[in-house]
Amino acid sequence: MKKTIYKIIFALLLFFLIVGGGFGVWQYMEPARVKSQEMYLNDMERLWEAKDSEALWELEKAYFVGLGHVEYRQKRALLLYDLGDLRAKKELEELVDKGWVSDKVYFACGEMSFREGDYEMAEEYFKNMSDAVSVDIQGKVLLYLTHIAGSYGNWEEVTNYLDQAKNDNVSKEDTVIYDLALALVLGDWQMVEVLMGSQDIILREKIGEVFEYVDMAYYLAVADVLMDMDLSDWSRQYLQEASNVIAKKDIYKLYAKSYLQEGNCRLSLDYLKMVEDIDSTDGEVNKMLVEVYQCLGLEEWKVWEESKLS
């Protein structure tokens, strides 16, 4: 019995000596660890800038020699996001859930939500950011918020965000498309004429044609131009506001076209079917159905629609 107790005591003493010694060595090596950590992080930044996935390995090495866990998780999530790694979404969401956030994390989450079409969530992330962000990121945030406000039809907010963007020296090249779209929506044709010169000749000609239309044709032409400006969600909002003067068939067709432009082929198909219920002889619908079925990988249906066009 006594031998067993002695063995246990000896084992415990040996354990504490090893742990204590290890801790002492760890503390003694701190200057070297800090230096190594800086080296690994510098290498990570260099590789990150080059979009090289080897940056992840340098980050792991920095973590191994003492980089804080929260900072490690933030850098890892942001790095995965910039590399286009599918794991980024889950890791960014975990950071938000745990409260391990920063302006860069909020921006990445907002941008990711925006690209997924979840504007409500994107707006929330962007508005959680502090005023201390870099001018470059602040400019991008204002443009995203401009786009989101327009998709809701909040034209006054669009104006306010554009004014802020210009005050923050966001380039005219980045804001002009929204200035032009806003002028089109509000019917400010004097401003449209000033701004349309900055666009390519095809879009200029199409905008010029809008002047020739009246009533329903006018609204449809403006909505079509907005889609050509890659503002399909603004186009849908504009059509919704003018729905009392536009035939449902034409609204559904433009909705279908806008969702096809965004790659939402299933929703595009739904609206095209609604058009067919109203008018099954519309040749333009057949052409769009060919594109939609191709997008959905429905080859037999695609061939069927193509046969109607021949």
pLDDT digits (tens, 9 = 90+) for 55-87: 999 999 899 888 899 999 999 999 999 999 999
Q: Is the pLDDT of residue 130 over 80?
A: yes
Tokens of residue 227, six digits: 């889609």
Q: Is the pLDDT of residue 183 over 70?
A: yes
Three-state secondary structure along 63-132?
HHCCCCHHHHHHHHHHHHHHCCCCCHHHHHHHHHHHCCCCHHHHHHHHHHHHHCCCHHHHHHHHHCCCCC
| Phi and psi torsions of 170, nearest 5° | -65, 135
Distance CA 134, CA 131 (A): 9
Q: Is the pLDDT of residue 127 over 80?
A: yes
> What pLDDT score was predicted for residue 122?
97
The pTM of the whole model exceeds 0.95? no
Span 6-32, mean pLDDT?
49
Distance CA 151, CA 237 (A): 6
Give residue 271's identity as a one-letter amino acid code. Answer: Y
pLDDT tier for residue 26 given thresholds of 50, 70 and 90:
very low
Output the CA–CA distances (angstroms, integers) from residue 241 to 65, 84, 223, in the order listed. 59, 37, 11
Residue bearing the bigger pLDDT, 30 or 104: 104
Contact 78/56 with Cβ under 8 angstroms? no
Tokens of residue 81, six digits: 């996001």
> What pLDDT score was predicted for residue 120?
96
> What pLDDT score was predicted for residue 9?
53
